[in-house]
């Protein structure tokens, strides 16, 4: 009844993790960014830009991770993973869902330059340096703002699921030790049973071939 279309270590991990937090039973259909499995007419009928995540949910088909996160929180309100409209923390919560994609898009552009360009094409050192600086600035701003155990003062929420996915991937491009509060927060999230279950189902990633991608020499 619930099927997640997923690429290991991709944004679809947000939905995988949230479904585990919600205690839902679901199947996973695995894809790779490195082949044409997301360019078939069948997949494009589910996801217009040929991207993951897609969630098939009791007959409905949803794409865009931020929308899916929100729809799941609305579908299972008893889990209390999103502040209700009109509540004090609603604005902070929605901001963080959007901010997660600010980070996600920086990572996507770094991936395009540093991971997916094939010779003879070469990444622009200037563009990579700029993207890297923007990623560090986006994380530093969160480092300065994070005061409690989670993004929202009231506790764990779907905003953590959305944002932390990007923080985890930033390790391929920046030194995460520069963000000690975010590191402590991130360690706390990794200890959650639902996160551990989600990681176990994530699959073998075939995106990154290096542990770290330094900025190329200009
Ligand atoms: N804003 C979209 C972005 C989705 C997206 O770009 N997903 C990537 C994986 S992280 C993808 O499917 N890329 C395949 C491609 O670009 O061909 C979301 O949050 O769902």
Q: Given this model, what pLDDT does residue 50 score?
A: 98
User: Ligand 1: which of 38, 52, 102, 116 to mutate, most ligand atoms within 8 Å of CB?
Assistant: 52
- Architecture of the 90-191 domain: Up-down Bundle (1.20)
Find the mean pLDDT for residues 189-205. 98
Work out the percent of the chain whose per-residue pLDDT is above 90: 97
Reported as a single tens digit per residue, the pLDDT across 90-140 is: 999 999 999 999 999 999 999 999 999 999 998 999 999 999 999 999 999
pLDDT of res. 38: 97
Residue whose CB lies within 8 A of the most ligand 1 atoms, among 7, 11, 112, for a mutation test: 11
pLDDT digits (tens, 9 = 90+) for 85-102: 999 999 999 999 999 999
Q: Can you tell me the mean pLDDT for 170-181? A: 97
Q: What is the average pLDDT across 192-204?
A: 98
pLDDT at 39: 97
pLDDT of residue 77: 98
Q: Which of 104, 26, 37, 105 is nearest to 62 (CA)?
A: 26
pLDDT class for 218, splitting at 50, 70, 90? confident
What is residue 197's predicted lDDT score, i.e. its pLDDT? Answer: 98
Q: What is the pLDDT of residue 174?
A: 98
Residue 78 has pLDDT above 80, yes or no: yes
Give pLDDT, residue 217.
Answer: 84
Distance 170 CA to ligand 1 centre (A): 16
Ligand 1: which residues within 6 Å by Cβ?
Answer: 7, 10-11, 33, 38, 50-53, 64-66, 101, 108
Q: Where are the alpha helices (DSSP H) in the chain?
A: 12-21, 41-46, 65-75, 90-111, 125-145, 158-169, 180-190, 193-202
- Reported as a pLDDT band with limits 50, 70 and 90, residue 27 is very high
Give the pLDDT band (50/70/90) at residue 63.
very high
- Do the domains 90-191 and 2-79 match in fold? no
pLDDT at position 8 is 98
CB of 64 closer than 8 Å to CB of 96: no
Average pLDDT, the chain: 97
- Specify the fold of 2-79: Glutaredoxin (3.40.30)
Query: What confidence category does residue 79 fall into, taking pLDDT thresholds of 50, 70 and 90?
Result: very high
d(CA 14, CA 73): 13
Whole-number Å distance, alpha carbon 2 to ligand 1 midpoint, is: 20
CA of 148 to the centre of ligand 1 (A): 30
Degrees (nearest 5) of the Cα angle 63, 87, 69? 15
Condensed to tens digits (0 to 9), the pLDDT of residues 150-169 reads: 999 999 999 999 999 999 99
Residues paired with 2 in a beta bridge: 57
Distance 11 CA to ligand 1 centre (A): 7
CA atoms within 13 A on the CB side of 42: 4
For residue 52, the CA-to-ligand 1 centroid distance in Å is 5
CA 201 to ligand 1 centroid distance, Å: 19
Q: Which of 166, 146, 142, 148 is nearest to 66 (CA)?
A: 166
Break the chain into its structural domains and give their ranges. Answer: 2-79, 90-191
Whole-angstrom Cα distance, residue 218 to residue 216? Answer: 6
């Amino acid at each position: 009844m619930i099927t997640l279309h997923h690429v290991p270590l991709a944004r679809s991990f947000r939905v995988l993790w949230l479904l585990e937090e919600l205690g839902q039973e679901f199947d996973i259909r695995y894809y790779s960014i490195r082949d044409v499995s997301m360019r078939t007419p069948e997949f494009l009928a589910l996801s217009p830009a040929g991207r993951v995540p897609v969630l098939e949910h009791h007959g409905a088909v949803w794409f865009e991770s931020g929308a899916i996160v929100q729809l799941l929180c609305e579908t299972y309100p008893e889990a209390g993973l999103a502040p209700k409209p009109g509540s004090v923390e609603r604005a902070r919560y929605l901001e963080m869902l959007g901010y997660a994609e600010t980070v996600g898009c920086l990572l996507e552009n770094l991936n395009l330059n540093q991971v997916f360009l094939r010779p003879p094409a070469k990444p622009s050192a200037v563009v990579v340096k700029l993207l890297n600086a923007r990623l560090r600035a986006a994380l530093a701003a969160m480092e300065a703002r994070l005061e409690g155990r989670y993004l929202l003062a009231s506790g764990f929420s779907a905003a953590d699921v959305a944002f932390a996915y990007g923080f985890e991937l930033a390790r391929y491009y920046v030194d995460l030790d520069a963000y000690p509060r975010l590191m402590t927060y991130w360690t706390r999230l990794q200890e959650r049973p639902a996160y551990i279950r989600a990681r176990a189902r994530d699959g073998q990633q075939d995106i990154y071939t290096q542990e770290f991608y330094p900025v190329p020499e200009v």
